C-alpha cells in the first residue's frame, strides 16, 4: 500500500542572531544603509574639522601676522624712521599706512615701502642690559595694549603692538649716550625723548582708531584724551628707568 507519510527532504535554514531569517535582499539593504551612514558621518566630521581649522587659522592670521613682514627694512628706511621718532612733529607726510590691493583683498605694504609701517629693526641696535630691556619692552607693550583695549581697539595684531613698543629703545639709546656727557645732558635728553615718544605713540594710536579698526567714540572723546595723555606721561618714568639700567 502506498504510505502517505513517506520520507520527504527537509531544508534547514539557520536562524539569525535575533531570531529572524536573513535574506539576501535584507543583507543588501543593511550594507547600503551602513555605507550611507558611514559616508554621511565622514562628511559631517570633515565639515566640523574643516570649520574648526579655518577658525583657528583665521584667528591666528588676525592676531599674529607674518613675522618676516616686520624685518623688511633698508638703511634709508631706518634713517627716515629715526628722524620720525626723534622729531615726530617735523614729519610733514601723512600718518596713514600705505595699502596695496590684490583683487578684492588688501594688505599693508612692508616697512621698506612705507615709513608708517611697524617694524622690528630697533632692538638689534641697542646696547641696553638684556634683562632690563626685555622687561621695559614688555611694560611698553602692555601699556599700549591696555590703552587700545580701553578704547575698543583690541583687534590690532600683537606683532604690531610689539613693534610699536620696541621704538622706545631708540629714545633709550639717545639718553644712554647723553649720560656719558653728564647728568644735565641726560635729564635734558630724557625729557626730550619722553616728549617725542609720547607724541609719536599718541599719533599712532589715533591713526589706529580712525583708519585701521574704524573705532569712533565721539561720546567718549574725553576718556580717550585722558588715556592718551596718561600713555604719553608714562613715557617719562619708563624712559628714565630704562636709561639707568645697568648704570
The DSSP string of the chain is ---TT--------PPPTTSPPP-HHHHHHHHHHHHHHHHHHHHHHHHHHHHHHHHHHHHHHHHS--GGGGG---HHHHHHHHHHHH-GGG--S--SPPEEEETTEEEEPPGGG-TTS----GGGG--S-HHHHHHHHHHHHHHHHHHHHHTT-TTS-HHHHHHHHHTHHHHHHHHHHHHTT-HHHHHHHHHHHHHHHHHHHHHHHHHIIIIIS----GGGHHHHHHHHHHHHHTHHHHHHHHHTTT-
User: Structure pTM?
Assistant: 0.58
Residue 142 lies in a domain: yes
Q: Is residue 226 located within the same domain as residue 149?
A: yes
- Whether 113 and 216 map to the same domain: the answer is yes
149 and 184 fall within a common domain: yes
For residue 2, tell me if it sits in a domain. no
pLDDT at 124: 47
Per-range mean pLDDT, top range of 57-66, 109-118, 169-178: 109-118
What is the arithmetic mean of pLDDT over 171-176?
83
- Pair 130, 45 in one domain: no
In a domain, 5, yes or no: no
Residue 228 within a domain: yes
Q: Is residue 176 part of a domain?
A: yes
- The tens digit of pLDDT for each residue in 191-219 reads 999 999 999 999 988 888 877 655 555 55
Q: Is a pLDDT exceeding 80 seen at residue 111?
A: yes
Both 79 and 52 in a single domain?
Answer: no
Does 1 fall in a domain?
no
229 pLDDT above the threshold of 80: yes
Same domain, 235 and 120: yes
| Domain, as residue range, for 193 | 66-243
Among 63, 79, 95, give the residue marking a domain's end.
63
Looking at residue 47, what is its pLDDT? 59
Question: Both 44 and 94 in a single domain?
Answer: no
> Is residue 137 domain-shared with residue 180, that is, in the same domain?
yes
Among 63, 80, 101, the domain boundary falls at 63
In a domain, 18, yes or no: yes
Q: Are residues 54 and 73 in the same domain?
A: no
**59 in the same domain as 78:** no
- Our count of domains for the chain comes to 2
The per-residue pLDDT for range 81-107, each reduced to its tens digit, is 888 888 888 888 888 888 888 777 778
**Last residue in a domain, options 63, 78, 101:** 63
Statement: residue 244 has pLDDT above 50: yes
Please write the tens of the pLDDT for every residue from 1-60.
445 444 544 544 455 545 454 455 455 545 555 555 556 555 555 555 555 555 545 555
Percentage of residues in the chain having pLDDT higher than 70: 64
pLDDT tens for 55-88 read 545 555 555 567 788 888 887 887 888 888 888 8
99 plus 168 within the same structural domain:
yes
* Residue 127 and residue 193 in one domain: yes
pLDDT at 149 over 70: yes
- Nearest by Cα to 241 from 185, 177, 194: 194
Q: Is residue 40 part of a domain?
A: yes
Amino acid at each position: 500500500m502506498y504510505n502517505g507519510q513517506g520520507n520527504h527532504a527537509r531544508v534547514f535554514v539557520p536562524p539569525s542572531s535575533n531570531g529572524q531569517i536573513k535574506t539576501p535582499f535584507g543583507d543588501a539593504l543593511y550594507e547600503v544603509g551602513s555605507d550611507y551612514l558611514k559616508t554621511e558621518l565622514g562628511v559631517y566630521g570633515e565639515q566640523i574639522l574643516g570649520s574648526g581649522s579655518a577658525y583657528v587659522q583665521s584667528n591666528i592670521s588676525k592676531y599674529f601676522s607674518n613675522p618676516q613682514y616686520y624685518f623688511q627694512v633698508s638703511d634709508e628706511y631706518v634713517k627716515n624712521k629715526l628722524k620720525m621718532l626723534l622729531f615726530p612733529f617735523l614729519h610733514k607726510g601723512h600718518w596713514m599706512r600705505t595699502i596695496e590691493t590684490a583683487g578684492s583683498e588688501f594688505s599693508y605694504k612692508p616697512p621698506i615701502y612705507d615709513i608708517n609701517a611697524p617694524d622690528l629693526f630697533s632692538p638689534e641696535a641697542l646696547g641696553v642690559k638684556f634683562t632690563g630691556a626685555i622687561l621695559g619692552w614688555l611694560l611698553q607693550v602692555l601699556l599700549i595694549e591696555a590703552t587700545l583695549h580701553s578704547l575698543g581697539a583690541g583687534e590690532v595684531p600683537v606683532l604690531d603692538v610689539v613693534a610699536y613698543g620696541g621704538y622706545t629703545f631708540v629714545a633709550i639709546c639717545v639718553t644712554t649716550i647723553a649720560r656719558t656727557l653728564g647728568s644735565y645732558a641726560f635729564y635734558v635728553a630724557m625729557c626730550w625723548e619722553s616728549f617725542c615718544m609720547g607724541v609719536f605713540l599718541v599719533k599712532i594710536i589715533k591713526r589706529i582708531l580712525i583708519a585701521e579698526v574704524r573705532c569712533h567714540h565721539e561720546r567718549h572723546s574725553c576718556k580717550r584724551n585722558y588715556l592718551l595723555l596718561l600713555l604719553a606721561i608714562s613715557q617719562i618714568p619708563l624712559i628714565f628707568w630704562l636709561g639707568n639700567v645697568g648704570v
